[in-house]
Amino acid sequence: LLNNSGELAVYEVDTLQHVSNTEVSSIAPTNVSFTDEYAFVRWINKVAVVYLANPEQQGCLDVGGLGMCSADLYLSVIDTDGVSVFSLQDPLNPERIGSIDLESPDTVFTRQDVFYIHDSGSIKKYKMVENSFVLLDEIVLTEALCIMENEGALYVGQSNGFVVVNFDSSTTTNFPTGSKVDRMVVDGDVLFVVSGNQLIMYDVSDPFTPSLIDAKSFGSDPLNCKGVAAD
């Protein structure tokens, strides 16, 4: 977990036992997105790229503003142009492909060549086709603090829990957690949800019907998590 203090906290996945804390920066980032080998940390006017196997190997991408970023096959960054998309063929030196022109995007999630973007009261689903971006679907949702996709199901963090979105049926299902959901990540059949001062685990073997497994509290203060990864 990368928290609001710029500390990277590491926990055992199975037991949720604390392993270590490492200060990454005294300045809190907007968010961090992980791939298998790299971390993409969004700061004001830039994205820092860190090779996880050797953190001394770093890159830096200049982008405008302070919006969220998300990395998978491609890197998407909310900036002053809307949502800019970059190739990650050379992850330490992302190359800009183009942008999705939107009015006021505030949350983005990338899965392969598909981009889920919350903008102006709805989540829009775009697919990249020959370096252009095609709007595939859209569903009205007033709030999206974070987004995670899993086998067609879209998990959307909100102020008091998360919502499961089914684009095929144009339906949403609420899952209250009692606090704001900062970040989510899926590892296998487990969804990890950072909500308030808790890390909550759900069984998502059926992606559209999460089932509570366990929850662990971390003190009394909200975690203010900026990024989470599990493997």
Q: How far apart are CA 108 and CA 91, in angstroms?
A: 19
How many Cα neighbours within 13 Å face the side chain of 214? 7
The pLDDT tens digits for 62-92 are 998 888 999 999 999 999 889 999 999 999 9
pTM, whole model, 2 decimals? 0.86
CATH class, 141-231 region: mainly beta
pLDDT, position 55: 77
Percent of the chain topping pLDDT 90: 63
Inter-residue contact 230 to 187 (CB < 8 Å) = yes
Domain ranges of the chain: 35-138, 141-231
> 10 Å Cβ neighbour count for 79?
21
Size of the chain in residues: 231
pLDDT, position 163: 97
Q: For residue 174, is pLDDT > 80?
A: yes
Q: For residue 192, is pLDDT > 90?
A: yes
Per-residue DSSP letter, 18: E
pLDDT, position 73: 95
The pLDDT tens digits for 24-70 are 555 667 788 989 899 898 888 899 898 888 877 888 899 988 889 99
pLDDT, position 48: 87
Q: For residue 186, is pLDDT > 90?
A: yes
Q: How far apart are CA 48 and CA 34, in angstroms?
A: 12
